[in-house]
Amino acid sequence: MHIEVAKFILVAGEMLLTSGAEVYRAEETMERMGAALGYNVEAFVTPTGILLTVSYQGEFFTKVRRIRYRTQNLGRIAGVNAISRGLSMGTLTFEEAKAKLQELRVPAYSTGQKLIAVMVASGSLTFILGGSGWEIIIAALSGLIAYSVGFILERFNANSYLSSSLASFLVANCVYTAQVLLPNISVPTVLVGGLMVLVPGVAMASAVKDIVQGELLSGTSRAVEAIAIAGALAAGSAIALGLWR
Amino acid sequence: MSFLDISRQFMAAFLASGGFSILFNLSAKHLFFASLVGAMGWLGYQFVVPISGSIMATFLAAAIVSLLAEVLSRILKTPASTLTVPGIIPLVPGMRVYRSMEYFLHGNNVNGLDEVAMTLLVSGAIALGIAVVGSLFRLKKR
* A47-84 tens-digit pLDDT: 889 999 998 888 888 889 998 888 888 899 999 999 99
CA distance B51 to chain A (A): 19
Nearest residue of B to residue A111, measured between CA atoms: B23
CB atoms within 10 A of CB A101: 17
Report ipTM for this prediction. Answer: 0.91
Alpha-carbon distance A70 to A238, whole Å?
26
**Residue A237 and residue B101: Cβ atoms within 8 Å?**
yes
Q: Are residues A198 and A99 in the same domain?
A: no
**Residue A192 and residue B95: Cβ atoms within 8 Å?**
yes
CA distance A58 to chain B (A): 31
Q: Are residues A169 and A240 in the same domain?
A: yes
**Residue B19 and residue A230: Cβ atoms within 8 Å?**
no
- Identity of the amino acid at B60: L
Beta-bridge partner residues of A64: A51
Of the residues A103, A127, A152, the one at which a domain ends: A103
Of the residues A103, A125, A140, the one at which a domain ends: A103
Q: Are residues A125 and A223 in the same domain?
A: yes
- What total of structural domains would you count in chain A? 2
- Identity of the amino acid at A61: F
Closest listed residue to residue A191, CA positions, set A176, A180, A202: A176
Q: Are residues A172 and A155 in the same domain?
A: yes
**pLDDT of residue A245 exceeding 80:** no
Q: How confident is the model at residue B142 (pLDDT cuts 50, 70, 90)?
A: low
**Residue A202 and residue B123: Cβ atoms within 8 Å?**
no
CB atoms within 10 A of CB A231: 16
Q: Which domain holds residue A99?
A: 2-103
Q: Are residues A91 and A11 in the same domain?
A: yes
Write down the H helix ranges in A19-110: 23-36, 74-89, 94-103
CA distance A133 to chain B (A): 14
Q: Are residues A84 and A10 in the same domain?
A: yes
Per-residue model confidence (pLDDT) at position A108: 83
Q: Mean of the pLDDT values across residues B112-136?
A: 89
Q: Are residues A92 and A163 in the same domain?
A: no
| Number of residues that make up chain B | 142
Q: How confident is the model at residue B141 (pLDDT cuts 50, 70, 90)?
A: low
Per-residue model confidence (pLDDT) at position A1: 67
Alpha-carbon distance B18 to B16, whole Å?
5
Q: Where are the domains of chain B?
A: 3-137
Alpha-carbon distance A185 to A179, whole Å?
6
**pLDDT of residue B140 exceeding 80:** no
**Residue B27 and residue A78: Cβ atoms within 8 Å?**
yes
Q: Which residues lie closer than 8 Å to A208 by C-beta, 6 or more apart? A: A219, A223, B127, B130, B131
Of the residues A72, A87, A103, the one at which a domain ends: A103
Alpha-carbon distance A46 to A218, whole Å?
6
B91 compared with B139, residue with greater pLDDT: B91
Give per-residue pLDDT as tens, A173-216: 999 998 888 888 888 899 988 888 888 776 777 777 778 778 88
Q: Are residues A133 and A237 in the same domain?
A: yes
Q: Are residues A153 and A181 in the same domain?
A: yes
**pLDDT of residue B104 exceeding 70:** yes
DSSP-derived letter for residue A230 is: H
**pLDDT of residue A126 exceeding 90:** yes
Please tell me which of A87-96, A152-161, B54-63, B128-137 the model is most confident about, judged by mean pLDDT.
Answer: B54-63
